[in-house]
Amino acid sequence: MKLRSAWPVCFVIVFSSAAPILAAATDKADPAARTPEQRKAALEAHKGDFDYLLGDWEFTSVSKEWGKGRGYWSAVRLDQGQILDEYRVVGDAGETYYVTTTLRQYNSAADRWELIGTDPGSGLQNFGTAQRVGAEMHIEQRFGVAAGNPSLWKIRYYDIQPDRFSWTADRSNDDGKTWEAKHLTIEARRIGPSRALEALAPARNKPAQ
């Protein structure tokens, strides 16, 4: 095995300016134009889009930058429907090379999933959007902004099965003018069942006086 595949998967768009993202959101949907009934219907239709990711996974990866890698990926549904996941790249002796955490939430006004990721010490910079396209999930991301070398990624989850899925990402270093196909690919297989987390602060009766 050559070093590691140290870039995060999936999940997130890092960006140097919020303007392009806000413009895209405005073009996609005007929240005021969607009725409460439409938003409720959209949520019901899409709240399970990332259910395939729930549980524990072991993966192998091939990166054109880092070579072959391996690691673990776990996701849990929170009480209000958000998806929290952790992606960890490890060495042959189990040492951690890279780890990132992502929170995913469906936005019924914009009719898309939105994601925020965080790496140790980097704050909450990694914003992204995702949508289901047929039997696949597609994500757009920017990575590396904090380090001064931003790149645009287009990620695709495909061949999604109960016990496995495939993942591939094309990368652009010039804001989408040219693309490197299959910059990173991942093959994941399930090693643990789907999981959900109960409310951290559940509702309780008022204590007796």
Going by pLDDT thresholds of 50, 70 and 90, the confidence category of residue 71 is very high
In whole numbers, what is the pLDDT of the chain averaged over residues? 84
Residue 32, pLDDT score: 62
pLDDT at 30: 63
Contacts of 135 by beta carbon, 8 Å cutoff, 6+ apart: 158, 160
- For the segment 119-145, what is each residue's pLDDT rounded down to a tens digit? 777 777 778 899 999 999 999 977 776
C-alpha distances in angstroms, 111 versus 78, 99, 130, 140, 175? 20, 29, 10, 15, 24
CATH number for the region 19-192 comes to 2.40.128.20
What single string gives the DSSP state of each residue in 161-185?
Answer: ETTEEEEEEEEESSTTSS-EEEEEE
Domain positions in the chain? 19-192
Residue 207 is given by DSSP the state P
87-123 pLDDT, tens digit per residue, is 999 999 989 999 989 999 999 999 999 988 777 777 7
Smallest Cα–Cα separation from 7: which of 166, 187, 151, 160?
Answer: 151
Q: What's the rounded mean pLDDT across residues 160-188?
A: 96
Contact at 8 Å (CB) between 8 and 114?
no
186, β-bridge pairs: 61, 167
Q: Would you say how long the chain is, in residues?
A: 209
Query: Is residue 182 scored above 70 in pLDDT?
Result: yes
